[in-house]
Structure 1
Amino acid sequence: MGARKILTIGFELASDDSEYASFDSKLSLLDWDIILVKPKLGDFYAYSDDYYQGKRSLSDSSSFRLKESSEHWRREIKQAVDAGKTVIVYLAPLQEVYIDTGQRSYSGTGRNRQTTRHVALFTNYQAIPAAFSPVATSGTSMKLVEKGAEVLASYWKEFEGQSAYEVLLEGENVPSCLMTRAGDKPVGALYRSKASSGALLLLPDIDFDDERFIEEDESNRVWTTAASQFAGRFVSAIVALDKALRSSSEITPEPLWAADSSYALGPESALKLQLLEAERKVEEAQQEKEAVADQLVAAGKYRALLYEKGKSLERVIIDALRLMGFEAASFKESDSEFDVVFESDEGRLIGEAEGKDNKAVNIDKLRQLSMNIHEDLQRDEVTSPAKPVLFGNGYRLLPIRDRPDPFTEKCQSAATISSTALVHTPDLFNVVQHLLGESNPEFARECRRALLFSTGRVSFPEAATSSRPSTGAQTNES
């Protein structure tokens, strides 16, 4: 048997003998022999400021991503175990959040209309395909069960001192392999596949992020010698544990010849037909899900105004201007190329777009914009200068609330001299958000006029922010 392929999810090891995947990746686990999982919600609620009943409440977008990732890993872990893989879950501290169920209820009419957002409790353990209820607690005093846990003896001797339980495993028929010394409460479990030599092993947590494992080196984080030594011991123990689990399995994988139709048993034909029908329904549901997911991506395209740059930012600016009632398109003719030319009954404008990762938009784009205005005026069909507009997305990688001024002082003073309108693209997003929420031709007209007649930073009408969504009322879906 060759070297075992090891994948870690939710934590990393300082070893070339393992590879790492984040919780929001979509890897198939069938490419690996040993899969190590630490279920953590991580970045899913890093930017959530909403709370419900004392716990974080995720936005609809974060809720969708979290549920999708959890369902992916739950499915992949089950398939991996059924395919004969070893999956080891390190029982991290219990994390609970409220997620958006997608359901809404309404009361009142007109301006008094109230929306109630329905939420449901979600935990980091819903990605694990095993029937148990995690109960938050903590401790270090544990023991192997008296019978059936011999396979763990070598591993436990090596890592008992670095293991700590963060949850108790409650539920009927939990196949416990580790328990508390006092009270005999399950803190580890071993689930064997009924169809293969695969196993799902739940073990007490280990601190893989020990402060001794990382050090700063010229602004970079690097593994220490202690991290490499730990990883070496750990991988060796895991490979030995995998071997022990396989050798102790009482399941012999069915050989291909035994699956011949001549050996078929009575109930199998009907069950195979049921399975085919179930797979057909799953495929149809998956196709419907993918179609809705594509629609969701298209519906959310305007969020690019918050964080994009380059051609992607230019395209979404054009779509936003069209939504406002402009005729808008990029322009390329001979040696002239403009990011966007847009016009309406109120007037004609030319725009340039610029996104900066971690700095403000500077004066360079204003020079380009000025040249574009002159080149445009030289065309025979143009009789008067277009209004210059600079669309800037400074500090685009920072959360909106943490961004300094998106335009430099030089850029702002030069814009005043050249009568250029400066548009912070997140401000344009607020306009789009309002227009998508309700049809408001007068508001759209006022926004067009704001672009045409502003000099310096554009302030759109107040209505642009009056309809911005909030968490609002919530109710728990049990």
Structure 2
Amino acid sequence: MAQKNIVTIGFELNNDSVNYCSFNSDSSLLDYDIVLFKPDIDDFVSNADMFEGKPSLSDHDSFRLKDKVQHWRREILESVECGKTVFIFLSELAQIFIATGQKTYSGTGKNRQTTRHVTPYDNYQIIPAEINVVKTKGREIKLAPKHAELISSYWKEYSNQSSYKVTIGDKVPASLLTKNGDKTVGSIIRSKNSNGALILLPDIDFYPDEFFDDEGDWGSAESKKFALKFTKSVVSVDKAIKNSDELTAEPEWSKSINYKLKKEEKLDSELLKVESDLADIQLKKESIIKKLNESGQLRNLLFEKGKPLEFAILDALKILGFSVSQFENSESEFDAVFESKEGRLIGEAEGKDNKALNIDKLRQLALNIHEDLEREEVESPAKPVLFGNAFRLQELEKRNDPFTTKCYSGAKTNSTALVFTPDLFIVAKYLSDNKDLRFATKCRKVMLNTIGRVCFPKVPEKNINLAKTISDKI
């Protein structure tokens, strides 16, 4: 028999023959014979705010989570219907709130209040089966009188390492039960159209202490031994599933219109309409995702470098009211040329991973100013501006001064404005959210008149929280 192609999602096994997919990936499960899945959404919950004692995700994370849950639910269902075996290890129920996308408003002017609507959600939306999940904990588990023979050898091997975190109700066949109370904690759900099966099993700790070496690195001999043994066990279960009541694939000739039932024809029409509707919804979804990604590019001012940082700077300058372009000919290339009725400026941008911006970029900027002045249509030198995103990989509160002492000295000599791009983000975000021509004018003037680090005017009081957070930390 050919080797089974196995993938894990939500955890890893220390076995080179087992593939791993991130929960955040868009991978198809149809490439694999056996799927091992753990519905763990801790990465989404870790930074969430709290609402009524439960995590509440932001609009952005709500969309991301729902998108991934729908993706995996669809992939699991399709895999089972195509004859694959999907194991789901029933981890702890994560009850959260996600945004509905609806908002209501009350009051006017300064008293205007926005109410963001949320709805309950949980990680078990991933499972394409009718289950009633109840959060609980225990270790005493027994094989059910029926529907358990296919996992009996697995259970004999891993019962001591398994524990239940949830019960799943009585609408699915019970394969494993709590020792007391006979609550269902494991099930085998067979496809009616293929040899596929969805196997729900109590959770296992795939990262016990003995799997880590003395230096805390995962990958000990124990973890390799476990992974090899565990892989063989799930392959044995898959083999037992395939060998029991094996279905014969329907031959093509039997699918002829001559043998089709009337209710099949009706359902085919309904399915065609649903698929057409889904295609329209998918196009609309892709359009919204594109707009969403574009609208969030301003945040690149906080952490990017290179072209992504340059484009974010250009977007921010447009928001401030500048006419913006990038200049390039056979002899010169400038990151940004921007002007308004207050004056004309030339900028260079640079992001540093783990250090401050030094004087080297000022040399390039001075050369750009000189080359720009040599152009026939330019009558006076532009104001030089250095945009810097120093320590870009660090959290804002951990960053040091973004410019070196030499950089400050050089800026003074060349009358250069130094703009820390997270500072630019604060004012650009405010102006993106609010139409405030007077404030935008103040921002443009301060860039033109500053030598050294630019201190933008404070955003109005109701928008002060983000600005105060960044300024206090840097």
Judge same fold: TM > 0.5, yes or no: yes
Residues 357 and 45 (structure 1), Cα distance of their counterparts in 2 relative to 1, 3 Å cut: farther
Cα distance, 1:260–1:315 mapped onto 2, change above 3 Å: same
Change over 3 Å in CA distance of 1:318–1:21 after alignment to 2: same
Partner of 2:150: 151
| Partners of 1:45 and 1:62 within 8 A in 2 | no
From 429, 434, 437, give the equivalent of 2:433.
437
SS at match of 2:185: strand
Q: Give 1:47-446 correspondences, 5 Å limit.
A: 47-48=47-48, 50-170=49-169, 172-215=170-213, 221=217, 223-249=219-245, 251-446=247-442
Q: Out of 461-470 and 158-167, give the one that drifted further.
A: 461-470
SS of the equivalent of 2:168 reads: strand
Is the contact between residue 430 and residue 465 of structure 1 (CA under 8 Å) also seen in structure 2?
no
Amino acid at match of 1:467: N
1:74, CA displacement in angstroms? 0.6
Give the Cα separation in 2 of the matches to 1:63 and 1:432.
Answer: 25
What's the TM-score once normalised by structure 2's chain length?
Answer: 0.93
C-alpha distance in 1 between matches for 2:335 and 2:460: 25
Q: 1:248 to 1:402 in 2, by over 3 A?
A: farther
How much has 1:237 moved relative to structure 2?
0.3
Runs of 4+ deviating beyond 4 Å: none
Consecutive unaligned residues in structure 2, runs of 5 or more: 467-474
Q: CA deviation at 1:222?
A: 5.1
Q: What SS class does the counterpart of residue 252 from structure 1 fall into?
A: coil
Q: Tell me which of the two structures has the higher relative contact order, counting C-alpha pairs closer than 8 angstroms and 6 or more residues apart.
A: 1
Aligned AA (1:343): E
How far 1:466 moved relative to its partner? 4.0
Deviation of 1:411 (Å): 2.4
Partner of 1:4: 4
Question: Which letter does structure 2 place at the counterpart of 1:271?
Answer: L
Q: Letter of the aligned partner of 2:116 in structure 1?
A: R
- Give, as a single letter, the amino acid of the residue that structure 2 aligns with 1:165: Y
Secondary structure of the residue aligned to 1:176 is coil
Report the CA distance between 1:468 and its aligned residue: 6.8
Please tell me whether the aligned partners of residues 6 and 34 of structure 2 are also in contact (alpha carbons under 8 angstroms).
yes
CA distance in 1 between partners of 2:377 and 2:437 (Å): 30
1:373 CA displacement: 2.2
Q: Within 1, Cα distance between the matches of 2:133 and 2:462?
A: 43
Q: RMSD of the TM alignment (CA)?
A: 2.0
Give the distance between the partners of 1:156 and 1:222, measured in 2 at CA.
26
Supply the AA of the counterpart residue of 2:193.
A
> Please, which moves more after superposition, 228-237 or 240-249?
240-249
- SS of aligned partner of 1:155: helix
8 Å contact kept, 2:458–2:464: no
How many equivalent residue pairs? 466
How far apart, CA to CA, are the structure 2 residues paired with 1:131 and 1:334? 66
Structure 1, residues 412-442: CA drift from partner, whole Å, max 9, x if none? 3433343321112122122221122122111
Distance 2:341 2:76 in 1: 59
Cα deviation code 1:260-300 (max 9, x no counterpart): 22221232111111111111111111111112212222222
Deviation at 1:359, TM superposition (A): 2.5
Q: CA deviation at 1:216?
A: 7.2
Residue in structure 2 matched with residue 476 of structure 1 by the alignment: none
Structure 1 SS opposite 2:128: coil
Q: Report the CA distance between 1:465 and its aligned residue.
A: 7.4
Could you tell me how far apart the structure 1 residues matched to 2:272 and 2:60 are? Answer: 33
- Give the 3 Å change call, closer, same or farther, for CA 375–466 of structure 1 in structure 2: farther
Tell me, yes or no, if the aligned pair for 1:434 and 1:468 is still in contact at 8 Å. no
Q: 2:147–2:188: 8 Å Cα contact kept in structure 1?
A: no
Pick closer, same or farther for the CA change 1:410–1:121 going to 2, 3 Å: farther
- Secondary structure in structure 2 of the residue aligned to 1:435: helix
Is the 8 Å Cα contact of residues 146 and 174 (structure 2) preserved in structure 1? Answer: no
User: CA–CA distance in 2 between the matches of 1:216 and 1:426?
Assistant: 40
Percent same amino acid at aligned positions? 51
Q: Secondary structure at the match of 2:61?
A: helix
Deviates more, 1:314-323 or 1:114-123: 314-323
Q: Which deviates the most, 154-163 or 245-254?
A: 245-254
Secondary structure of 1:385's counterpart equals coil
Q: 1:174 to 1:469 in 2, by over 3 A?
A: farther
Would the aligned equivalents of 2:177 and 2:184 in 1 still touch at CA under 8 Å? yes
3-state DSSP of counterpart to 2:353:
coil
Once the 2 structures are TM-superposed, how far is the Cα of residue 362 of structure 1 from its aligned partner? 2.4
In the other structure, the counterpart of 1:20 is 20
Tell me if the contact between 2:443 and 2:456 (Cα under 8 Å) persists in the aligned partners: yes
Matches of 2:461 and 2:452, distance apart in 1 = 20
Q: Specify the SS of the correspondent of 2:182.
A: coil
- How far did 1:469 drift? 8.7
